[in-house]
Structure formats: C-alpha cells, structure tokens
C-alpha cells in the first residue's frame, strides 16, 4: 500500500492566527541587506534617472518578498520541503540584493535572473505541492504564467543598456503589478476570484509589520552609522535626535491600534483576499518607500544640518514622510473604507512645509516634518475610540473601527 504524502498546506485554527515561523524570519534577513542597498542607490544617484532606477528595483524587491509572504500564508514553513524552498529563495535573494548597486550596469543579468528565479521558482514549487487542490492549482497556474511572461522582459532587459533597460524592465514590473489587479486572467484558464483565497489575515498583518520594522531598522542603522563619522557638535546631535524621533513617530503611527484592528477586520471579512491584496500587497509599498527615502534624508541632514537647503534634501525630508503617510492613508481606506482625517491633514501640513522649505535650514525642516508625524501619532493615540460600529466595507463586520 502506498503511503500518502502529508499536505504541505498550513493547518487553519479558528481560535488563533498562524504564527510567523523562525524560517520566515530568517528569510527576511536577506531583505535587510536589500533595503540597505536600495538606500545606497538613492544616496549615490539622487537625480531623476537614479530615482527611477531605484523605484524599479524597489518594486522588484518588494514583489519578490510579498509574493513569498503570500505563499507562506498557505504553505507551512515548518514542513521540510517548504523550509528548503525558502532557503533556496533566500540564496537567490542574496544575489538579487548584491546586484542592486550595479543592476543598471554590469550586473543587470544577475539581478534579472535572480528575480525571475525567485518569482517563477517559488510559484512553480507551490504548483507542484498543491497540484491536487483544484483551487490552488488553477490559481497558481495563472500566477506562474504571468510571472514567466514578465520574466521574458526581465531577461531581455538585461541584454540592453541605458534607458532601454529601464523601459524594458519598467514593462516587466508593470506586468507583474497589473496581474493581481486583473485576477491573473489567463487565456484558457480564466480569472482568479479573491473570494476564493483562504487568507490568514493575522499572518499577513504580522509579516508586513515585520518588513516595516526591517525598513525602520535600516533608517536607524543609517543615522547611527552616519553620526559615528562626524564631529558631535550641537547641530549634528540635534539632527540625530530629530531623525531618531522621526523613526519613533513612524513606528507609533504604524503600530497604533490600526494594525491590530486590521488583522481582525480581514479575518472577519466576507472577501478577505480582496482586502489583503489592497492593504498589504499594494498599500504597503509607499509605506516602505517612504521609510527608505526618509532614511536618505536623515543621512543628508546629519552631515549638513545648517546652511543652504538643497533641493534633494528638501525632497527627501518631505517626500519620505509624505510617501509613508500616503501608504498609511491607503491602508486604512483599503481595510476600513475610511479616509483618515489625521493622516490627510498630515499630508496637507507636509505640503505646506514644501512651500516653506526654501526658506528653512535642513535641521529646521527635519524637525518640523518629524513634529507633523508626532502630532499624528499623538492624535490617533489620544483620540477616544468611537463606540458606534464601523461602516461595513467589503464584508468587514461592525465594531472594528480604528482611531480617527
């Protein structure tokens, strides 16, 4: 008699969400390196082309990570084959991260090949493990087809140079980002409905929270390593205190009651896949991008806290927090169907600082943008929670309304 092979899918427990495993945490360490490399790309090339290059690379890195988070939402990393898959993907991610500084130069093929290997290899593995599950099989046939199609452009782009590579890779990343929005529609295979996804909301919330901590940790590393290499004069230490408070304020805003309430909302939604796709797959991208850009501005303001305001410094000091708040606004909108007044007013305040920035020194602008974030965190923490039920949104059940 043939012995049956145990399923590699996670066992669902109605009483508690699936925990993040040590294998997943170990996998995430590679992306600490990747986020560092992305910050350095922006620092070295803060002009238009450099920012476009960094944006494409960030989109690819985030997509490699978030798709893996989705896969481990379904597959059990405690199972040997799944853990081995994660370690193989981890090795490929090391190549991906190490290639970032010269991805638009001599190491383009290494970056493209590593990204395609992660995307297609991981999806093919899932397809193999869950072949007997009709729903997962149909879904990952479509996903693998889309990622393989995008992979053709990733590899092709590695064989051209300059702006041609940017255009071809831009098309590749556009294909990858459009695919979930159209339900991975594939000729002959149809479309995936988000209502068919059995999403573990608590696990997805925790995974994305951990990646946010990775990005915040990078900002702390950058500011700490920068201040070590300069004289500890009063303006420098004032700048250092301000950038640390900025990181703390971002943590405060992100890990307010919204994060916990979002996990519950997704768990109790009638279509958790749709909410998770918008809230975690898409809305978290500007949050991460904002933290990275803020870290770049932190380094510049510690080096030169006083004197003339350079355009690149003003853009980083205002643009980083603005991107972060934009993502935070979209996140709350996706989960609760609410426009956050505090975060929208914060964006308006940052826009006002943008107008005033030519008349400010870097240290003053850094502290003012930080105080905007602190004010939002205080508002959301001190405002009493409304007792009335939240409006329904995509099946969210009442009683889950977060702060204003």
Look at residue 327 and tell me if it is in a domain: yes
Do 42 and 169 lie in one domain? The reply is: yes
Do 173 and 262 lie in one domain? The reply is: no
Query: What are the start-end ranges of the H helices in 198-310?
Result: 201-228, 234-254, 257-267, 272-276, 284-303
What digits encode the pLDDT tens for the residues 233-246? 999 999 999 999 99
Look at residue 396 and tell me if it is in a domain: no
Run of H or E residues at 219: helix 201-228
Do 116 and 242 lie in one domain? The reply is: no
Q: Which has more pLDDT, 8 or 200?
A: 8
Mean pLDDT across 13-38: 84
Do 282 and 357 lie in one domain? The reply is: yes
Domain tally for the chain? 2
pLDDT at 403 over 70: no
Look at residue 227 and tell me if it is in a domain: yes
Look at residue 388 and tell me if it is in a domain: no
What digits encode the pLDDT tens for the residues 207-217? 998 999 999 99
The CATH number assigned to the domain holding 226 equals 1.20.1410
Q: Which has more pLDDT, 272 or 192?
A: 192
pTM of the full predicted structure?
A: 0.89
Do 116 and 247 lie in one domain? The reply is: no
Do 174 and 264 lie in one domain? The reply is: no
Do 128 and 215 lie in one domain? The reply is: no
pLDDT at 280 over 60: yes
Do 186 and 295 lie in one domain? The reply is: no
Do 332 and 254 lie in one domain? The reply is: yes
Do 274 and 350 lie in one domain? The reply is: yes
Do 369 and 308 lie in one domain? The reply is: yes
pLDDT at 402 over 60: no
- Residues of the chain with pLDDT > 90, as a percent, come to 62
- The DSSP call for residue 37 is H
pLDDT of residue 397: 41
CA 219-24-70 angle, to 5 degrees, is 95
Do 233 and 341 lie in one domain? The reply is: yes
Q: Which of 192, 225, 258 is the last residue of a domain?
A: 192
pLDDT of residue 213: 93
pLDDT of residue 190: 86
Alpha-carbon gap, residue 84 to 93, rounded angstroms: 14
CB 291 within 8 A of CB 216: yes
The whole domain housing 281 covers: 201-382
pLDDT at 386 over 80: no
pLDDT of residue 15: 55
Look at residue 277 and tell me if it is in a domain: yes
Alpha-carbon gap, residue 307 to 360, rounded angstroms: 9
Return mean pLDDT, the chain.
87
Look at residue 213 and tell me if it is in a domain: yes
Least confident of 19-33, 154-168, 255-269: 255-269
């Amino acid at each position: 008699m043939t012995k049956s092979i145990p399923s590699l899918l996670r066992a669902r427990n109605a009483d508690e969400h699936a925990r993040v495993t040590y294998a997943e945490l170990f996998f995430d360490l590679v992306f600490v390196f990747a986020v560092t490399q992305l910050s350095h790309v922006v620092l070295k090339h803060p002009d238009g082309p450099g920012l476009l290059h960094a944006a494409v690379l960030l989109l690819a890195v985030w997509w490699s990570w978030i798709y893996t988070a989705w896969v481990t939402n379904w597959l059990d990393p405690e199972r040997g084959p799944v853990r081995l898959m994660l370690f193989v993907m981890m090795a490929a991610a090391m190549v991906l991260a190490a290639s970032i500084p010269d991805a638009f130069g001599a190491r383009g093929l290494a970056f493209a090949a590593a990204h395609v290997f992660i995307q297609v290899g991981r999806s093919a593995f899932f397809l193999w493990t869950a072949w007997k599950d009709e729903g997962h099989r149909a879904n990952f046939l479509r996903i693998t087809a889309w990622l393989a199609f995008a992979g053709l452009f990733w590899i092709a782009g590695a064989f051209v140079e300059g702006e041609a590579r940017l255009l071809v890779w831009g098309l590749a990343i556009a294909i990858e980002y459009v695919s979930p929005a159209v339900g991975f529609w594939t000729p002959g295979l149809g479309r995936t409905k988000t209502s068919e996804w059995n999403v573990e909301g608590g696990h997805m919330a925790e995974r994305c929270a951990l990646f946010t901590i990775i990005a915040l940790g990078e900002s702390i590393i950058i500011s700490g390593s920068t201040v070590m290499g300069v004289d500890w004069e009063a303006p420098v230490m004032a700048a250092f205190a301000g950038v640390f408070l900025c990181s703390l304020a971002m943590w405060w805003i992100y890990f307010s009651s919204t994060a916990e309430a979002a996990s519950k909302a997704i768990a109790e939604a009638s279509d958790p896949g749709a909410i998770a796709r918008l809230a975690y797959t898409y809305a978290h991208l500007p949050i991460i991008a904002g933290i990275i850009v803020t870290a770049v501005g932190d380094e510049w303001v510690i080096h030169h806290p006083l004197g003339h305001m350079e355009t690149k410094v003003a853009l980083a000091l205002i643009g980083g927090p603005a991107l972060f708040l934009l993502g935070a606004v979209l996140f709350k909108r996706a989960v609760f169907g609410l426009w956050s007044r505090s975060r929208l007013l914060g964006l308006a305040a940052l826009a006002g600082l943008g107008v005033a920035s030519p008349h400010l020194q870097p240290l003053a602008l850094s502290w003012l943008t930080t105080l905007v974030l602190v004010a939002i965190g205080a508002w959301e923490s001190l405002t009493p929670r409304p007792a009335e039920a939240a409006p329904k949104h995509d099946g969210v059940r009442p009683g889950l309304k977060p702060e204003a």
